[in-house]
Structure 1
């Protein structure tokens, strides 16, 4: 079974709750990610997305250098066991109505993150493989 640690993601981008919004935005740009997991003692306590920064900071007219992650993060993010299967994680995402979910190890430390887009890409690749198999096994129709 494929667990969510096998997704081709780089290191999870994390930050402390006192990280400023401007620093979070810079990190997102540098790392090419749309979210940062906020941690204390390697355990997820929140998550900040690029949308959070746009809506809660910029659109609200706040100073990005004075607003911290703690001010804009979604607290107590929904997590999944790092060994959870993809359908279990998808179900958790659907129930919680979230697009990103951190995976934690048995000690509760963040070890991975998976997004809705990761699943779309995975399923797209798998459907393409099925298409190739079906095409290879199908008879020729008078080319």
Structure 2
């Protein structure tokens, strides 16, 4: 298995402002073919917003996704790791706190994201988790 978070993370960060609407965030996710974005106030990570957050915390509650901000639906104050942290530390945090992704922050700035899929791919590229992580999102709808 890889030794450091920087060896397994997805580099680069797709972020939205805290006041961005859920529609803006969802459209960005669709355009970037991703399922989550970092919510950042300037360069500071204030939350992580997933497609599931939008569906469960907003749409299922019947709120207007044009009128609700990313900050109000995201997971606030997410746990973060540094690029030079051991992969084992990221795994331990994910297990202990039951989270699937962690922003990677260096000198206070978000530089990437490490997910369960990234870890599965690094440990065993032929694993089902790695296959799912590498699969293209089907943005056409359906199952």
Is 1:92 matched with 2:93?
A: yes
State the Cα deviation string for residues 110-133 of structure 1 (Å, max 9, x = none).
111010111112212288xxxxxx
Is the CA contact (8 Å cut-off) linking 2:4 and 2:84 kept in structure 1? yes
Against the structure 1 CA distance between its residues 10 and 82, is the aligned structure 2 distance closer, same or farther, given a 3 Å change threshold? closer
For structure 1, the 5+ residue unaligned runs are 128-143
Is the CA contact (8 Å cut-off) linking 1:28 and 1:36 kept in structure 2? yes
Scaled by the length of structure 2, what TM-score is found? 0.81
Report the number of matched residues. 126
Tell me how far apart the structure 2 counterparts of residues 9 and 77 of structure 1 sit (CA, whole Å).
17
| Matched residue, 1:19 | 20
Aligned ranges 1:30-45 → 2 under 5 Å = 30-45=31-46
The runs of 4+ residues in structure 1 deviating greater than 6 Å are none
Structure with greater contact order relative to length (CA < 8 Å, sep ≥ 6): 2
State the Cα deviation string for residues 83-127 of structure 1 (Å, max 9, x = none).
11111111111111100000111x211111010111112212288
| Matched residue, 1:109 | 109
Is the CA contact (8 Å cut-off) linking 2:11 and 2:113 kept in structure 1? no
Against the structure 1 CA distance between its residues 53 and 97, is the aligned structure 2 distance closer, same or farther, given a 3 Å change threshold? same
Q: Secondary structure, in 3 states, of the residue corresponding to 1:45?
A: strand
| Matched residue, 2:122 | 122
Tell me how far apart the structure 2 counterparts of residues 39 and 27 of structure 1 sit (CA, whole Å).
14
Tell me how far apart the structure 1 counterparts of residues 15 and 23 of structure 2 sit (CA, whole Å).
15
Scaled by the length of structure 1, what TM-score is found? 0.81
| Matched residue, 1:131 | none
Is the CA contact (8 Å cut-off) linking 1:4 and 1:112 kept in structure 2? no
Structure 1 residue 8, shift from structure 2 partner: 6.2
For structure 2, the 5+ residue unaligned runs are 128-143
